Amino acid sequence: ARILARKYKELTEKEMRKWEKKAEQDKIRYQEEMKHYVPAEDPTGGGKRKKAKKDPNAPKRNMSAYFLYSIEVRPTVKADNPEATFGGIARLISEKFKALSPKERKVWDDKAIADKERYTSEMEIYKEG
């Protein structure tokens, strides 16, 4: 870039006019092309992709063991820790869930499996029509 700048400054007046004339011609060409320019249609519609609308008649998704546990325990954790934030309550629930014995955990895993079966059967009925 420095070399080009130096060469540009060293141009004679005649050479300078030659390049200015070329620049003017190119500017006119560009303006003519822009008069007839039509933007290409974007088949995707452009912009942000819109989220697919959920069917209100579709069955509710199945819940994980942790989520079922969380729904059950949240009111008591919130009552025991009234000053805790939403995130703080979630952290406490997570700690309690991780501390469950395998026997206690199996109860929630079984509930999650039952909910998964419910969802699968409801989804089959839904897809049939």
On the question of pLDDT at 45 being above 90, the answer is no
Q: What do you get for the CA distance between the two ends of the chain, in Å?
A: 68
Alpha carbon distance 28, 37 (integer Å): 14
**Residue 52 or residue 106, greater confidence:** 106
Per-residue pLDDT reduced to its tens digit, 53-75? 888 889 999 999 999 999 999 99
pLDDT at site 52: 85
Q: What angle do CA 64, 62, 123 make, to 5 degrees?
A: 155
Q: Would the pTM of this model clear 0.85, i.e. be above it?
A: no
Position 50 confidence tier, pLDDT thresholds 50, 70, 90:
confident
pLDDT at site 8: 86
pLDDT at site 42: 66
How is domain 65-128 classified at the architecture level of CATH? Orthogonal Bundle (1.10)
